[in-house]
Amino acid sequence: MATCGLVVFDTTLRDGEQAPGFSLRLEEKLRMARQLEALGVDIVEAGFPIASEDDAEAVRRVAQSLQRPIVAALARCAPNDIDRAAWALEPARRSRIHTFIATSDLHLERKLRMTRESALDAAVAAVRRARSFTDDVQFSAEDATRSDRDFLCRVIESVIAAGATTINLPDTVGYSTPDEVAEFFTSIIGRVPNADRAIFSTHCHDDLGLAVANSLAAIGAGARQVECTINGIGERAGNASLEEVIMATRVRADRLPYDTQINTCELYASSQLLSTLTGEAVQSNKAIVGRNAFAHEAGIHQDGMLKDRRTYEIMRPEDVGVLQTTLVLGKHSGRHAVQKRCEQLGYELSRQELDGVYRQMTTLADTQKNIADTDLDAIIADVCGTPQRIAAEVTGTDSAGYGFGV
C-alpha cells in the first residue's frame, strides 16, 4: 500500500495552554517550543497574539527561536487580530496566520449574533488581509461538524478563492463519531469545486473520548493535516493526543499508511517536559507515555514478556523514548518474574526456596501496592537465611532489557 505525507500541526502552546491549569510563562513556552522542534512537528501554533501582550510577545519570541517548523498564530476574522498576529510572526523564517470564525447556526445566532452572510464576508475579508502578510493562511470553520453543509461548502469555496491554503474543519465540541467524521470530510472535499487548491485539516476534541479515532477517520477520508497536542491537553477534555495519532500510524502502517517527520524517540521526553512545566502529571494508564504503558504486573503477562516481548507489547518502549519495559512485582506477579528478579539481584534459589519467597512476597503485596528490591532482600533473608549472592553487581535489567520497578 502506498504511503502519503501527513502534516503535523501542534497546538500544545495555543489550544493546549488554554486549558485550566496549563498556562505557561514565556521562558517555559520557549523550552516547550524547542522540544516540539526536536520532536519534528511541521507547524507550531505558538499562541493567540490578540489575547494579551504576554501572548503576543511569546509568539514573537517563539518565531525568533525556531528554525525548522512553520510558526502559526491564531486570529479571529477581525482586522486587529490579523494585524497583531502578523506583527508577532514577523521574525519567523516561515509563518502562518490561522484565522477562524464559527459557521454553525448555533454559534452564529447565540454566540456571535451574526447572520450567515456577515460571517461569510468576515471570513473572506480576513483571509485576504492575512494574505497581505503571508502566503500561508489557514482558515478554520469553528463548529464545522455541526454546520449546515451547503453554507459550509460556500464558506470553504470562498475562502480558498480568497487565498486560504489550509482548511481546518474542527469537531469543536467533540460530538462526532468516526463514521460521521469520515462521511463529513468525504462529502465536503467532494462538493467544494476548488478543494484541490487547499490542504484539509482535522482538529478534534475529546469530550466523548473519540478525538484520536475521529482524527484518524478524517485522515482516511482525505484530510492531510492533523491538529493535536502533547498529552492530549486542551479545552475541556482536551485535543487529539499527538503521541497516540503518530504511534497509530507507525504501529498500524498496514491500515494507516501515512508518513510524518516526527522523531518518535522524542515523544516521551516531550510528554515529560510538558508535565514538568505545567505541574500536571500524565495519568498512569495514558497510552504511549503513561507510567504503565510499558509496565506489567500480571503473572501471565510477565511470563509471556520474559519469553517474547511481542506477546504483550505492540511497540518497543525505546521507539517512543522510554528507557525499558518494567516488570512490577506485586500481588498479581508470577513465580517466573520473582525468580528473574532474584537472579538479577544476585540470588540463586532452589525451587523450595523460590516457593517460600513467592508466598511471602504475595502476602506482603496484599498490604502494599508494590514490592521493592529492599522488600525482596528481606524476604529472601527470612526464607533462606543469608544466601550467598552469585553476582558481584546488582543490575536493574536482564539480558532482554527488562527492568523491575515500583
Instruction: Write down the pLDDT at residue 311.
Output: 85
According to CATH, what is the number of the domain 4-278? 3.20.20.70
Q: How far is CA 367 from the centre of its chain?
A: 36
Over residues 255-276, the pLDDT tens digits come to: 999 999 999 999 999 999 999 9
Instruction: Write down the pLDDT at residue 394.
Output: 45
pTM for the full model? Answer: 0.88
Over residues 93-125, the pLDDT tens digits come to: 999 999 999 999 999 999 999 999 999 999 999
Among 247-251, 290-294, 389-393, whose mean pLDDT is lowest?
389-393
Domain extent listing, the chain: 4-278, 295-405
What's the whole-number average pLDDT of the chain?
92
